[in-house]
Structure 1
Amino acid sequence: MTCSLFYSTEMPNERAKVFGTPPAKPMRWAVDYVVKTPDGRTVVLGEKTIQRATFEELRAVMAHTIGDEVGNVATFVSWRATAYGGKKRRKGGKRKCS
């Protein structure tokens, strides 16, 4: 199971676009984000891994993280989060035919 979220301040109603099925349990999220400040500076941080957050908690965690990086002044914020995992693969090899 893979779930990806895309959030931008320019999206209608400030809702995240979801690709895949959101996980029911807390998962690790790989996050990339871009922030532009009023002075024209662009802050691009490659990867950040958020430890064990639920789908609902992720937006609050990202708002706090971006606020710590550039303060509460930003003209544009965009981020993409991806969670991998979920179902475990079955142990064992191929089934033998009699």
Structure 2
Amino acid sequence: MGGLATPDLDSSLEHDLSQQPPAAWQTVVWNDPVNLMSYVTHVFRSYFGFDAATAHRLMLAVHHDGHAIVARGPREIMEAHTQAMHDYGLWATVRKEPS
């Protein structure tokens, strides 16, 4: 053809995507009729490393509001947190943070 150079669309797309911040996701812990409030507080302190006041505040949100957002970040990390909550016997989900 006439020797016109065409941009490498794949590499420019990859470059554009790498410049964008990762999408924000949330790990949400939901209330359940099984786990004691003290146990939920213990899980939040031991797994996430929250101080006692933060863990207690989040546990009360779960208890009174039905759920609490316990972490925000990249989807893969939120999925790992959600699996860990399941391993502790808590009900948790991952959801995309509203924009």
Give yes or no for TM over 0.5.
no
TM range (shorter): under 0.3
Which of 1 and 2 has greater Rg? 2
